Amino acid sequence: EPEVTQTPSHQVTQMGQEVILRCVPISNHLYFYWYRQILGQKVEFLVSFYNNEISEKSEIFDDQFSVERPDGSNFTLKIRSTKLEDSAMYFCASLSGFRADSGANVLTFGAGSRLTVL
């Protein structure tokens, strides 16, 4: 079954450093998302990406964050200057399709990249 692949699985960085998290979405999917989950908290939406541009972003997704799809396959999340509170599990997801029984959009998530900022 097709998978969303994320790298690295775990990254430790110093506060103020730049971090790039990488994702390879499922090849024929068109919508891509980044979510994050701070330990023990809910999964929070960061940004959605469609047709090579941001379609929606949350208030968490400030100027320190950026996304791009540089080569048509990888989908990256960059944090320019990491803060302690950026420590979280970051999930990439792509839109699998719409359920016939509900019309709901079903996201396929990657296993996540754990970011630890020291």
Partner 1 sequence: DQQVKQNSPSLSVQEGRISILNCDYTNSMFDYFLWYKKYPAEGPTFLISISSIKDKNEDGRFTVFLNKSAKHLSLHIVPSQPGDSAVYFCAASATNAGKSTFGDGTTLTVKP
Q: Which positions touch partner 1 (CB under 8 A)?
A: 4, 31, 33, 35, 41-45, 48, 50, 56, 58, 91, 93, 95-96, 98-99, 101-112
E strand residue ranges, 1-118? 5-7, 10-13, 19-24, 31-37, 43-50, 53-57, 65-68, 75-79, 88-98, 105-109, 113-117
Name the residue nearer to partner 1 (CB basis): 14 or 28. 28
Name the residue nearer to partner 1 (CB basis): 64 or 108. 108
Name the residue nearer to partner 1 (CB basis): 55 or 81. 55
